[in-house]
Chain A
């Protein structure tokens, strides 16, 4: 069991959800509430990571964030650190790859809030912040939790993009999925089996939780009022 790789994966998942979930709430809310020209294109763009092979995403990120790119050069100049083959690069890659997993459940959750409730909240005199905190968040939390669990578990099991962008540097970019791959390559099936079991148990638990949350969301937002 490669504890260092497991810890790195957990750390990467935590960083990803901390940055991604607030962003996804903003984007999901905006997509659920507002109609604008080009909305379908934005939604399609958000879903792209779901259909592209991880190696393709990894390739574009490698080219886009590498030290030959404008972003890569700028970051290296500013912070003296390159993004590729570094943990920070993995965080950026994980955020980008997991956008659909974060935005979709939150957008769906926002879409279930009846317009009557939004109107009533505004007419009750509540400020936007208060509506968000007191009305919207308690109503969309199953969606937020689903997004959080999906992203966390997906980052934990991410392989292709991580390998393309981060390589396999122990303690820096070697995540648990890469450690499993390494173990299999080295015929260490005991380690590989143990790590795989950890990921499997986590994935099943996460899916059970998200399914339960989705069901709860179905009857949560006053659907019976309609």
Chain B
């Protein structure tokens, strides 16, 4: 059986036992990252799609096949849904070898070809020469690959990955990112990946959905969500730290520009959301929108949004350094992750006064949180 290419449509709404509201479509060949903090309902959502948990209301549909419909009390079993599922801790059967684990997912093919098919899948996930090893004899990365091979060997109509990289070390994780990115190109089924790591979502997903406390906060292309968070809750969940108050001074919709104040400074944003003059707003700027300009270097920012700051701390964290600076005359604090070599080049140090520029195209005015 070849993998079937069909979109997954999911409408779930329940208030108890775990509140969860999710409405989305994941197209065939698309990777959807479900991102949110622990206990936010991500795994529950995945288990509902898999048929391992039953929502109170809503429906789940894969192509033309209705998997779950609360109205007609229809709920297909996980076996009937024909899915590939990789649980957070991989769910490998500890008493079976890597090969037998993959064979366990091959019930749908004739017995005679199961072993060869399983070996082929192990080969495809770059797991050579280890078919006879038990899961306890494999490293975290190898276990992850066996679990992935088992899920894919089923030739599923949808692939569900629950925190696929959480149980492996950083080095293995980096390698697996590349492998999954490669594999993504070969798959023509919807892939739903649950993660709490925004970085993973930005790296691997075509689409992301933010979920918190069972509520869907925003969905869209990962970089769109990052640069245009709907509201402060989304911005905070995306790890954006530089969120400030402002007051609208003027808006020019034809030039797509909005001017607002930050203390007594005037800031311009290359956007024209629905705001009125004098309205109090919250706005955000991502890290990539902040430019440091050391006075000592003699170079001046060309940006309109220049702010004088006093550096309060420089925390070196490997290749990147966290610079915390207070905006002079306003008191607000700005956090920026600056490449360490640039910190050295610009001579950024505690107590130093310098100028930062905020890129107007990166400034995003937030909607009021619901």
Contacts and interface: CB of A to CB of B under 8 A. Distances in A.
Interface residues of A, number: 25
Contact of A139 (B78, B94, B135, B136): B94
Given A119-B52, A126-B79, A225 B95 contact: no
Nearest to B140: A225
A123 B85 contact: yes
Interface stretch (A97-105, A206-214, A216-224): A216-224
Contacts of B366: none
B104 A134 contact: yes
B93 interface: yes
Interface residues of B, number: 34
Interface centre among A121, A130, A139 (most CB of B within 10 A): A121
Interface in B51-99: 51-52, 77-79, 82-95
A125 B143 contact: no
A124 B154 contact: yes
Interface in A84-130: 114-127, 130
Residue from A123, A134, A220 having most chain B Cβ neighbours under 10 A: A123
Contacts of A125: 78-79, 82, 105, 107-108, 154
A123 B84 contact: yes
B154 A114 contact: no
B311 interface: no
B82 A220 contact: no
B50 A123 contact: yes
Contacts of B215: none
A138 interface: yes
B135 A122 contact: no
A119 B143 contact: no
A51 B79 CA distance: 44
10 contacts: A115-B87, A116-B90, A117-B93, A119-B47, A119-B91, A120-B86, A123-B78, A139-B93, A225-B89, A225-B136
Interface of A: 114-127, 130, 134-135, 138-139, 220-222, 224-226
Interface of B: 47, 50-52, 77-79, 82-95, 104-105, 107-108, 135-136, 143, 147, 150-151, 154, 160, 167
